Amino acid sequence: MNKIIGIAFLFAAILGTFCVHAQDMKEKYRPQFHFSPRANWMNDPNGMVYHNGIYHLFFQYYPDDKIWGPMHWGHATSKDMISWQEQPIALYPDSLGYIFSGSAVADVNNTSGFGKDGKVPLIAIFTHHNPVLEKQKTGKHEYQSIAYSLDDGKTWTKYAGNPVLQNPGISDFRDPKVRWFEPQKKWVLTLATKDRITFYSSPDLKTWARESEFGADAGAHGGVWECPDLFPITHNGKQVWVLIVNINPGGPNLGSAGQYFLGDFDGKDFKAYSKETKWLDFGTDNYAAVTFSNTGNRILLMGWMSNWQYANQVPTHPWRSANTIAREVGLQEVNKELYLTSMPVKELDVLNKDGFKEKNLKIKGQFDLTPKTKNSTGLFRLDFETKNTADFSITLANKSGNEVIVGYDKAANQYYIDRTKSGKTDFEKGFAKKHIAPRISLDGNISISLIADAASVELFADQGLTVMTDIFFPDAPMAQLFIKSMSGITIDNLSYTSLKSTIE
């Protein structure tokens, strides 16, 4: 009998833990299908790598508070980049410093020699940021180190020979992104070095040689260069190299943002087609976006859905920050100029619930979609097309009078997201603003894809040529939805799908 009572108690305890856990993730403002840590502070995604059928996400994490502090690498895993399971912390600070941002690779050829019994080692390459040296103002407090895992990312061993790349005296010397360069059978490391990018190469991930630098006279310089990425995309049979450089502050609408350059890379030098900045995302909330490694021909990008302007102040509890939805990156030519496009990964469809479709929907004035969205939780995807003939806007609203307006201004040829009256905004004076983005496409048809979670909206206009990501903090779920056009538009192929939460 005692045994039965014991088992019953155990069962109740497990169930109890599970329920608390489930409730935990239903707090006000909690993203329901964007990754956020259960508790405490998160910033940049790190070490994103696909390995043995699992997507790994590591992230800048401070487990003791919900403000930035001594950095660890948190860890989460997913089968589809949509539902994430948080895992134990992967890397802790040590005598060499905090664990700042970096990347991870699957060393399939065992160039590092860390592999054992045929097991492919995962190698993390990260910045050690030494707070003691920082105080001494030597300018040499950031250097690069590595760690390896032989159990698919569960546990990590730091290399005894760390650091593997010493600091030559550059105060911002961080965020290594490593990829394999097959033509020369070597690793290439792209590093943010203050106001430029420096490239290094290595046969084994342990010894690095400087190759070249790029960017002192190119792109935006309103802030420090951070979290770069370098990868090729094939376009019309030609290989185009993409160099992403995150910058903070100095973004197009405020604070942190990601710029990119397109060009050639020969294993040594990156030669940009143009020195002009192009922006990856014109919203305020996609920072430190970089790609997953080891994903074959797919290029998958994910960023931190916040901004250094207010990340430490946002009104969430007991966690801070989430990531963007994973996006598939491509190239598109507009007027003989190439641009990056990004669209939500197709895996997002696993969240699709019920919805409705409309064809040839004429809107003049305001059209209320709310009755058709049936008990909306504010989690949805909206896609439609319309001819580029007039202004229009999409309003997400709630019963408390909060609204987020996503729209197109024809005269200015701009998209925008206006979060001025989006709910709680007083934690930072620059938060309640309207953000604008140029329309890059010249197509006569406009296509819109909008992804809304509890506290964010992601706009992918013109098949991802103009992208905007904005967060907001509404007093109640944004359960109402309107489309408005004063001069009138006709909408084709409208599709509304309500999305499931991944937290059940």
The torsion angles phi and psi of 74, rounded to 5 degrees, stand at -75, 175
Least spacing, CB of residue 127 vs ligand FRU, in Å? 5
312-371: which residues touch ligand FRU (CB under 6 A)?
Answer: none
Question: For residue 39, what are the CA distances in angstroms to 21, 189, 193, 362, 380?
Answer: 11, 32, 32, 46, 25
Q: Least distance from C-beta 410 to ligand FRU, angstroms?
A: 36
100 touching ligand FRU, by CB under 6 A: yes
Is 43 an interacting residue with respect to ligand FRU (CB under 6 A)?
A: yes
Q: Which is nearer to ligand FRU, 45 or 378 (CB)?
A: 45
Looking at residue 167, the DSSP 8-state letter turns out to be -
- The smaller minimum CB distance to ligand FRU, of residues 55 and 100, is found at 100
In DSSP terms, which residues pair with 415 in a beta bridge? 408, 437
Interaction of residue 227 with ligand FRU, rule CB under 6 A: yes
CB nearer to ligand FRU: give 43 or 149: 43
Q: Interface with ligand FRU includes 60 (CB under 6 A)?
A: yes
Binding-residue pattern over the window 365 to 404 for ligand FRU, x denoting contact by CB under 6 A: ----------------------------------------
By CB under 6 A, tell whether 127 contacts ligand FRU. Answer: yes
User: What is the footprint of ligand FRU within residues 403-462 (CB under 6 A)?
Assistant: none
- The type of residue at 272 is A
Q: How many residues does the chain have?
A: 504
In terms of CB distance, is 321 or 485 closer to ligand FRU?
Answer: 321
Buried b (16+ CB within 10 A) or exposed e, 324-358: bbbbbbbbbeeeeebbbbbbbbebbeebeeebeee
Q: Residue 72 Cβ, how far from ligand FRU at the closest point, in Å?
A: 10
Burial of 238 (0-12, 13-18, 19+ CB in 10 A): exposed
Is 44 a residue of the active site?
yes
From the list 32, 36, 40, 101, which residue makes contact with ligand FRU (rule: CB under 6 A)?
Answer: 101
Query: Which of 288, 301, 406, 417 lies at the binding interface for ligand FRU (CB under 6 A)?
Result: 288
Please name which of 45, 32, 96, 31 lies closest in space to residue 74, comparing C-alpha atoms. 45
- Our finding on whether 187 is near ligand FRU (CB under 6 A) is no
Query: How far, in whole angstroms, is CA 175 from its chain's centroid?
Result: 15
Pair 64, 486: CB distance under 8 Å: no
Cis peptide upstream of residue 371 (ω within 30 degrees of 0):
no
> SS3 of 495, please?
strand
Of the two residues 227 and 363, which places its CB atom closer to ligand FRU in the complex? 227
Please say which residue, 293 or 307, places its beta carbon nearer to ligand FRU.
307
* Residue selected from 107, 226, 285, 403 as contacting ligand FRU according to rule CB under 6 A: 226
Residue owning tokens 């995807």? 381
Largest CA distance in the chain: 79
Is 71 near ligand FRU (CB under 6 A)?
Answer: yes
Q: Which residue stretches of 315-424 are H helix?
A: 370-373
| Member of 174, 177, 381, 484 binding ligand FRU (CB under 6 A) | 174
Nearer to ligand FRU, 174 or 278 (CB): 174
Q: Least distance (Å) from ligand FRU to the CB of residue 245?
A: 11
Continuous H helices in 52-91: none
DSSP state of 326: P
Closest approach, Cβ 381 to ligand FRU, in A, equals 28
CA distance 500 to 348: 10
Helix, strand, coil % over all residues of the chain, rounded to 5: 10, 50, 40
In the complex, minimum distance from the CB of residue 289 to ligand FRU, in angstroms, rounded to a whole number: 11
The C-alpha atoms of residue 243 and residue 231 are separated, in whole angstroms, by 7
* Site membership for ligand FRU, residue 470 (CB under 6 A): no
Q: State the nearest-atom distance from the C-beta of 101 to ligand FRU, in Å.
A: 3
Q: How far is the CB of 135 from ligand FRU (least distance, A)?
A: 17
Nearer residue to ligand FRU within complex by CB, 101 or 498 = 101
Find where tokens 């896609």 sit.
Answer: 383
- The residue within the footprint of ligand FRU, chosen from 86, 175, 328, 347 (CB under 6 A), is 175
CA distance 451 to 434: 18
Given the rule CB under 6 A, which residues bind ligand FRU?
A: 43-44, 60, 71, 100-101, 127, 174-175, 226-227, 288
Give the catalytic positions in this structure: 44
